[in-house]
Amino acid sequence: MPGIIKGKIPTKVELKWAFKTGGEIKSSPVMQGNSIIMGSTDGFVYCLDLQGNLLWKFETDNAIEAPALILNNTVYIGNLSGMLYALQLNTGKLLWKYETGNQIMGAPNWWSDDKKTYLVLGSYDYFLHGIDASDGKGLWKYESQNYLNATVAVENNFAVFGGCDGLLHVVDILSGKAVSTVEVATYVAGSAVLEKEKAFVGDYDGRLSCVDYKKKTVLWSFQSAERQLPFIGSPSIQGEKLIAGSRDRFIYCLNKNSGELIWKKDSGGNVDASVLADKNNVLVANMRGDLMLLNLENGREIWNFELGSPIIGGPGVSNDKIIVGAQDGNIYCLGAP
- As a whole number of angstroms, the distance between CA 11 and CA 118 comes to 38
Residue 25 carries which DSSP code? -
Task: Give the side-chain half-sphere CA count within 13 A for 277.
Answer: 23
pLDDT at 4: 58
In this structure, whether the domain defined by 5-335 belongs to CATH 3.30.70.1350 is answered with no
What is the rounded distance in angstroms from the CA atom of residue 193 to the CA atom of residue 196? 10
Run of H or E including 90: none
Q: Which of 183, 184, 101, 90 is nearest to 147 (CA)?
A: 101
Q: For residue 156, give the H/E element and its range.
A: none
- Please report the DSSP string for 187-229 in residue order: ---S--EEETTEEEEE-TTSEEEEEETTTTEEEEEEE-SS---
CA angle 78, 80, 82 (to 5 degrees): 60
Q: Given this model, what pLDDT does residue 99 score?
A: 98
- pLDDT average per 10 residues of sequence, the chain (337 residues): 68 97 96 96 98 98 97 98 98 98 96 95 97 98 92 95 89 95 83 93 92 93 89 93 96 97 97 93 96 97 96 93 97 96
What does the pLDDT read at residue 228? 87
Of 178, 107, 177, 105, give the one whose Cα is nearest residue 147: 105
